[in-house]
Amino acid sequence: MGVLTGISQRFDLIVLSSPAKSRVFSRIPQEISIRQTIQYASNLKDGVEKIISTPTIIGRNLVFVSKDDAVVVEISSQKSALRTFEDGDIIVTNHYEIEEMQKEQGDYYGSKYVPDDFYHLAMTKDGSKERYAKMRALLNNPVDFEKAKQILSSVSNIGTVQSVIAIPKKGDFWIANNGNQTPVTNREWINFSIKDLLSNCTFNS
């Protein structure tokens, strides 16, 4: 569950921001490295290796999901670390969870000209941790499509402009659609099949 940044026939990639202390501006923009990873990585493991071997410019949490596995890459311009399932789940918001990466966590930023509750939830580390804890409390196994909708609705706010639910083993995903209203999780979810979408595509490995 989250913002689906890219899909291939081999894995999906979800990217979340996580402010880091240091930022550099002389490396490959992460959007390009993500695009290259989605196109050329032969499997999830290869995708993770490509991401961590490409110097990045800002902090991110990247979630790789395949039919058989999932892994989170917490990354900054200085280092990266991996984490996997905890009690059968992987939860990711906008802060680093791995202890060694927490030392890399930078200041959060955002406009103060937004409602205070939205600023707190969407633009502070404490708000990110609150959303993380709320999802942890709501999760139980297995989580089906209806349960996933409930969880996402409970942590959404006026800044939730896109949201996706995916079932990797089936190759299905749903995109939230609420017209021009936010949060987008409050109305319909449109179903797509990865197999159908990519049936006429060819990929280089």
66-83 average pLDDT score:
94
Q: How many CB atoms lie within 10 A of CB 133?
A: 12
Q: How far apart are CA 104 and CA 92, in angstroms?
A: 17
pLDDT surpassing 60 at residue 94: yes
The side-by-side arrangement of strands in the sheet containing 188-193 is 164-167, 172-177, 188-193
List the domains of the chain with CATH numbers.
4-197 (3.60.60.10)
What local confidence, expressed as pLDDT, does residue 2 receive?
46
pLDDT single digits (tens) 109-133? 666 667 777 788 888 899 999 999 9
Specify the pTM.
Answer: 0.84
Do 162 and 3 form a contact (C-beta atoms < 8 A)? yes
pLDDT in tens, 154-169: 888 888 888 888 888 8
